[in-house]
Amino acid sequence: MQLEAVLADVDANLAACARLGTRAGEAGAEVIALPEFFTTGIGFTERLAHAALPPDGPATELLTGLAARFGALVGGSFLCRDADGEVRNAYLLAGPDGVVGRHDKDLPTMWENAYYVGGNDPGVLDTGELTVGAAMCWELMRTRTVHRLAGRVDLVLAGSGWWSVPHWAPRALFGPLERDNTATARQAAASFSRYVGAPTVHASHAGRLECAMPCLPLSYRGRFEGATVITDADGRVLAERPTRDGEGVVVAEVIPGRRTPVADPPRGFWLHRRGALPTACWHYQRWHGERWYRRHRAGELVSR
């Protein structure tokens, strides 16, 4: 599914996901993918620090309810506050009988560092009939994700909230950066199966985003990039909904199963080039976000 989330409005986003999930189930979907951060959307705002849900809360109830209603596998990630007080970007996979497994995103991306800590599990979820690999947004950009999933899974379930490069001046600089960013957002999801050797179902956010910029006296105004896409094990796109088309669902017939990947990953850390601006933001927003998270986590623990 492709979601136009309301930033930090959990109730509104759960209602939208229930509606879109029902549409997918009624269309015959046996696997339903929700995007990353389906309960909150993603942007830089203090409201997200207070929007994390418990692992057995309403987000999990939505996933398990859709799975039971349609006899489907249903997966998506949300900001999850665990019993140790830490928040993680937790991808939960549900089946008709309940939660099948969980994967915590390995590294927060840019300003995401302000809201959660990374995980270190392999993201290989056994449903009994299929082995599912979970990957979120820039996990689709890293060779380490390929190494943990290639040859081990029958299907990849993925989700992204990939924001655009702002239309700042000078346009001669930021225009080309945005064109490259748009291409990478789509390519990262559409090509991932080529490296892993299994079909991929990738759900995306769509719509506009306005929020603050960490450490800068500027506002971010942009949109979500990429596409909701379904590919076969060789990376051929079977169905696609570009984010410019807004909220909706796409359905395709997919044959799960692992096979020899048709492409070898690069030898470095990244599967795709990030560009100069994303590289700079990756580093300074990580530095800022880790400190911001510790301050706000301490405040949350005191308030509880």
Q: What is the pLDDT of residues 233-260, one digit of tens each?
A: 999 999 999 999 999 999 999 999 999 9
CA 132, CA 143: separation in Å to the nearest integer? 18
CATH code of the domain containing 190: 3.60.110.10
User: Average pLDDT in the 184-211 region?
Assistant: 95
Identify whether the C-beta of residue 219 lies closer than 8 Å to the C-beta of residue 211.
yes
Beta bridge partners of 241: 228
Q: Is the peptide bond before 58 cis (omega within 30 degrees of 0)?
A: no
From 153, 60, 52, 44, select the one nearest 102 (Cα to Cα): 60
Phi, psi of 281 (to 5 degrees): -65, -35
| Structure tokens given for 143 | 């060779």
Could you give the CA distance from residue 95 to residue 132 in angstroms, rounded to a whole number?
Answer: 12
From CA 251, how far away is CA 241, in angstroms rounded? 10
Full domain range(s) for residue 140: 2-303
Q: How many domains in the chain?
A: 1
Give residue 174's pLDDT band: very low, low, confident or very high (50, 70, 90).
Answer: confident
The whole-angstrom separation of Cα 205 and Cα 137 is 11
The sign of the CA dihedral 290, 296, 301, 302 is: positive
Report the predicted TM-score, pTM, of the whole model to 2 decimal places: 0.94
Q: Does 300 score more than 70 pLDDT?
A: no
Return the bridge partners of 155, or none: 132
Question: Please, which pLDDT band fits residue 67 given cuts at 50, 70 and 90?
Answer: very high
pLDDT of the residue at 181 = 86
| Mean pLDDT value of segment 61-75 | 98
Q: What is the mean pLDDT of residues 157-171?
A: 86
